[in-house]
Structure 1
Amino acid sequence: MSTSIASRLKLVGAVAIAFACGLVFASGFDLTPFGYAQQARGLVRPASDVKAYTPPANVESLNASFVGIAEQVTPAVVSIEAERSEPRRVQRSPQRRQAPPGLEDFFQQFDPRQQEPMQSSGSGFIVSADGYILTNNHVVANFDRLRVRLTDNREFKARLIGRDSTTDVAVIKIDGASGLPVAALGSDDQTRVGEWVLAIGNPLGLEHTVTAGIISAKGRGTSDIDVLRNQYAISDFIQTDAAINPGNSGGPLVNIRGEVVGINSAIATRTGYYQGYGFAIPISLARDVMNDLIKHGRIRRAVIGVSISEVTAAVAAAAKLPEVSGVLVGGYTSDDSPARKAGLQEGDIILKADGKPAARVGALQRIIRSHEPGEVVELEVFRYGQRKTFKVKLAEAPSEPTQLASADRGDDDSAPSRGGTNASKLGITVEPVSAEFARQARVPEERRGLRVVDVDPQGTARQQFVPNGIDIIVEVIYPAPRRAIRTTDDLQGVLSKVRDGEYVSLLVYNAQTQSTRVVSLKVGAE
């Protein structure tokens, strides 16, 4: 038995030695060269009878258009480097306390508690041969030194002409330059959803990058992209799926004719990088801001003096408006608001301005910004079943609106008690504003109504109120007549006369932002 095993082992050993010797012999004659699977020695001879695909003429034309646009516009796109000598902290803003889960990194750029960087970079584009450049406010704001680099690697010092935080537009200038390449400015009014666009800029340090996409939507508001803005902010962004990343800010969004239709400004992301959606400031707005900054050194923006928001299905139903369209008046921006003087009220829905439809916030803002302060506009308004017309003399908006500091509420009696009275028809729990809370939150006497201290997560109000006692119900606007709400009996008295399925409109004061809005709810709905 052992002799048989030994014989087999000798045979196996002999075969292995023979195989190894064969490999050595073959490699010596270069018959079996060692290498990676993807490597090949010598030249590969392609088959001569295989023809390349010939795309349709329209595809070739589109390809040529992209190439031509890139070659024409890219020389006018610049890289901007901004520096500051000393670190700076900005004032704390009450408008955002916590970022949604997964968005903490993205919102750090808006967190005033964070120390601002001493360096920043972005993009811009030249709009005049003598060196005027359009870019974003957030690229150059609060920096001491600006340097601009062109595609031919020439570098220039630049100075700030002016900037506007409400539109995120800034103008800088290269001094002593002439004959610079210029980007042609188009008209975003004529652009349509679905049109091709190119985004050009310097994302992630990759200079002069060109990406392509389409216009995905127009008239996007600040609430759509969740960017921190003040009460005078313009809500009229162009949405695109052309890739936009950090560093693209300030670069042009260009149509198929090589005309700039927007300034790339923001992205919707959970990572801080491109995830499919980018937003650009319409060039018509940017052009107006630029002209004001160059001519006056500041923005002269006409306003009607109200806080506004989009009309929802609930708002339209409560107002008995046949279609879900228009702009909801949520409150006044000041005691001397032009709209207030003209007779507009909270809860009114603006349908037209100057005879032109105002279907969305962005549409109304476009109409108003075409006027100068002091001019008069006619507003057509829908007020709970009635159409009314008002003539409003426009005021000038402050160039840098003041942000109100939040009160330090601590952990004392100002915190909601979680007791209160359950307004079950609305799915909320309310309690009167205490003297302590009113003092700490600086709540005006006329705003001391009922604090919303809890919200039913399954109720209709779950997306309308902040359940931490910051929202205060101060008036019932509808059903008529309007009446102030000071006690739980006041609210229950109104609700007792409203049947399930009907709507109620409330004027709500936010103690944190010190502003009002209108909330419309379906009573007794699940």
Structure 2
Amino acid sequence: MKETIKKFLPYVAVGVLSGATVFGGIELTKEQNTASDTGYFSTVKDPQTQFVGMNMSGLGEDFTKAAKMTVPAVVTIKNYTNRTAGRSTEQDIFDYFFGNPRPQQRQKPDNMPSGMGSGVIISPDGYIISNNHVVAGANKLEVVLSNKKTYVATLVGTDPNTDISLLKIDEKGLPYLNFANSDLVEVGQWVLAVGNPLGLNSTATAGIISAKGRGIGILAQGSASNPIESFIQTDAAINMGNSGGALVNTNGDLIGINSAIASTTGYYQGYGFAVPSNLARKIVEDIKKFGIVQRGFLGVTSLDLSDAQQVSQYNQQFKANIKPGIGMYIRDVADNSGAEDAGLRSGDVITKIDNVTVSDFADLSLAVGSKRPGDAVNVTFLRNGKESTVRVVLKDQKGNTKVRTKADLTVSEKIGAEFQPLNESFKTRYGLNSGVLARGVVEGGEIAKIGIVDNYIVMEINGKPVNSQKDVDKILDGYTGNVQVKYVDEYGRIYTQGFKMPN
């Protein structure tokens, strides 16, 4: 027996020594880096691939720096909305003619927000950028800093076409983020998303840029009339509540405003989308300087050749023979537009704007939509297989090359809705002496805030009957006081609500 033990003693000793070495190595690694327990590979110049091990301190320091800069500059935004507050039902006249009645939803208490999102402080004097959908319809907006200090914010302006909003709080010396040049962002670049997802304040998640120039069709589903979608796509985890938060590079510079996710569940599944910082910056500069967003247009309707299904449908509808490919096929050119002035015509294929390749609609909408009326762009196009370039001076939708201010807005633009006359047979049938149908109600606009949506009937404004858009314009053009609106909802209930006429 003793001989047997002696025989195995060398192996036991080696085993104990090996175990001690491994244990010591693990403990040493823990001391060197407690931030990560995952190895990664790195390619070096020699050119061999080496196992770096568990030391990710360089990467950790980069994210630590970005997080320290970003978290204090990202805020929580609480949206207090109560669409039915203060409405008094006068009578039910249409006997549910708009459709079957729905059960009344229980209203939230006045001290409970209807929704919450995120925002980014972009100047030390309290300007905050967020999403339009975060602030839409708010009666009150409350901003909570990372240090828990709370403010009531002023909504300076919004733009549904880019899903950007600008708020202001009364404070100085605030931490803020600088805008980076989002045109320089590259696929594969490390990024950090910071916001307040699912009620978890000051949450940072890391990922990479997965793609650029993504159009996902989400803005067209809302109140955007001319959406600009050229999102930065990232796999950094983004959930409900992250909207309006920051997407930053490893230096802590702002490269995007987190806006949306692609998900079948409503929660993170690996696809998040952010408005590029260059576009977001242009929008807030317009709002601060002019009070409204300045938008340039080429003046064309186009077909995205990169969308084979769209091309096929077009060919079937118009019995055409257009081939899928790269670029934007011009279907029509608007009268008195910059495109018409420059000689562009139906059948041309736009391939570049200012020497930047236009592969699809997202590229075109960003390249043109980020410009102002009066700006000029160089448009490269194909005509009968030959490439040409022309200089196009952009105009607004009314054919003007000059920028507009709030004072230049129409009544409909100021209150966020247009109005269509009711036909006489409708009035007779339902016993109405007056009324106009609300159309194109803008989310977050004054009309929307008092509970009116598309197809509601406005009967009176400031006690005066209205039967056309001209009637509405006559009452409100130049008016600066409180506005009283009497209207009918989808169940035939009549309400009277008011708002302050925007300057």
Does the alignment reach a TM-score above 0.5?
Answer: yes
Matched, 1:180 2:174: yes
Aligned mate of 1:119, from 95, 114, 118: 114
1:286 to partner: Cα distance: 0.2
Aligned mate of 1:69, from 60, 66, 69: 66
Alignment partner, residue 157 of structure 1:
152
1-structure distance, mates of 2:338, 2:84? 40
1-structure distance, mates of 2:121, 2:226? 27
Q: 1:325 is aligned with what amino acid?
A: I
Matched, 1:140 2:141: no
Alignment partner, residue 351 of structure 1:
351
2-structure distance, mates of 1:338, 1:289? 22
Alignment partner, residue 302 of structure 1:
296
1:308 to partner: Cα distance: 3.5
1:200 to partner: Cα distance: 0.5
1-structure distance, mates of 2:223, 2:139? 24
Change (3 A) 1:166 1:115: farther
Matched, 1:251 2:245: yes
Alignment partner, residue 281 of structure 1:
275
Q: How many residues align?
A: 334
Q: 1:128 is aligned with what amino acid?
A: S
SS of 2:208's equivalent in the other structure is strand
The correspondence of residues 491-510 of structure 1 with structure 2, limited to 5 A, is none
Change (3 A) 1:380 1:287: same
SS of 1:171's equivalent in the other structure is strand
2-structure distance, mates of 1:207, 1:356? 39
2-structure distance, mates of 1:224, 1:370? 19
Alignment partner, residue 214 of structure 2:
220
Alignment partner, residue 18 of structure 1:
none
Q: Which has the higher contact order (CA 8 A, sep 6+)?
A: 2
1:325 to partner: Cα distance: 2.0
1:326 to partner: Cα distance: 1.7
TM-score, normalization: structure 1?
A: 0.57
Instruction: Say whether the 8 Å CA contact 1:220–1:362 is kept in structure 2.
Output: yes
Instruction: Say whether the 8 Å CA contact 2:209–2:234 is kept in structure 1.
Output: yes
Instruction: Say whether the 8 Å CA contact 1:163–1:169 is kept in structure 2.
Output: yes
1:404 to partner: Cα distance: 9.3
Change (3 A) 1:124 1:211: same
Change (3 A) 1:313 1:258: closer
1:231 to partner: Cα distance: 4.9
The correspondence of residues 16-415 of structure 1 with structure 2, limited to 5 A, is 49=24, 51-52=26-27, 53=29, 56=52, 59-87=56-84, 119-175=114-170, 177-223=171-217, 228=222, 230-312=224-306, 324-331=325-332, 335-369=335-369, 371-397=371-397
Instruction: Say whether the 8 Å CA contact 2:246–2:256 is kept in structure 1.
Output: yes
SS of 1:291's equivalent in the other structure is helix
Change (3 A) 1:223 1:405: farther
2-structure distance, mates of 1:370, 1:190? 16
Instruction: Say whether the 8 Å CA contact 1:319–1:385 is kept in structure 2.
Output: no
SS of 1:130's equivalent in the other structure is coil
Change (3 A) 1:374 1:51: closer
Q: 2:392 is aligned with what amino acid?
A: V
Q: 1:339 is aligned with what amino acid?
A: A
Instruction: Say whether the 8 Å CA contact 1:195–1:214 is kept in structure 2.
Output: yes
1:235 to partner: Cα distance: 2.1
1:319 to partner: Cα distance: 7.8
Alignment partner, residue 439 of structure 1:
none
Alignment partner, residue 427 of structure 1:
none
2-structure distance, mates of 1:115, 1:357? 51
Instruction: Say whether the 8 Å CA contact 2:379–2:392 is kept in structure 1.
Output: yes
Instruction: Say whether the 8 Å CA contact 1:249–1:265 is kept in structure 2.
Output: yes
Q: 1:324 is aligned with what amino acid?
A: G
Instruction: Say whether the 8 Å CA contact 2:283–2:293 is kept in structure 1.
Output: yes
SS of 2:288's equivalent in the other structure is helix
SS of 1:362's equivalent in the other structure is helix
Provide the alpha-carbon RMSD of the alignment: 3.5
Change (3 A) 1:169 1:313: closer
1:153 to partner: Cα distance: 0.7
Q: 1:150 is aligned with what amino acid?
A: L
SS of 2:368's equivalent in the other structure is helix
2-structure distance, mates of 1:120, 1:81? 6
Cα offsets for 1:247-303 (capped at 9, x unmatched)? 000000011111110000001011111111010000000000010101111011111
2-structure distance, mates of 1:356, 1:274? 32
Cα offsets for 1:406-461 (capped at 9, x unmatched)? 9xxxxxxxxxxxxxxxxxxxxxxxxxxxxxxxxxxxxxxxxxxxxxxxxxxxxxxx
Farther-moved stretch of structure 1 (222-231 vs 270-279): 222-231
Change (3 A) 1:172 1:358: same
Farther-moved stretch of structure 1 (123-132 vs 339-348): 339-348
1:184 to partner: Cα distance: 2.2
SS of 1:303's equivalent in the other structure is coil
1:351 to partner: Cα distance: 1.4
1:320 to partner: Cα distance: 8.2
1:245 to partner: Cα distance: 0.6
1:312 to partner: Cα distance: 2.8
1:388 to partner: Cα distance: 4.6
2-structure distance, mates of 1:166, 1:231? 7
1-structure distance, mates of 2:183, 2:251? 15
Instruction: Say whether the 8 Å CA contact 2:163–2:219 is kept in structure 1.
Output: no
Q: 1:373 is aligned with what amino acid?
A: P
2-structure distance, mates of 1:313, 1:369? 21
Q: 1:265 is aligned with what amino acid?
A: S
Change (3 A) 1:147 1:229: closer
Change (3 A) 1:132 1:397: farther
Cα offsets for 1:285-342 (capped at 9, x unmatched)? 0000010101111011111122334323866998888x9322233445x554432454
1:389 to partner: Cα distance: 4.4
Alignment partner, residue 432 of structure 2:
none
Structure with the greater alpha carbon radius of gyration: 1
Q: 1:139 is aligned with what amino acid?
A: V
The correspondence of residues 438-477 of structure 1 with structure 2, limited to 5 A, is none
Instruction: Say whether the 8 Å CA contact 1:201–1:207 is kept in structure 2.
Output: yes
2-structure distance, mates of 1:115, 1:260? 40
Farther-moved stretch of structure 1 (225-234 vs 293-302): 225-234
* Overall identity of the aligned pairs, in %: 41
Change (3 A) 1:313 1:125: closer
Q: 2:135 is aligned with what amino acid?
A: V
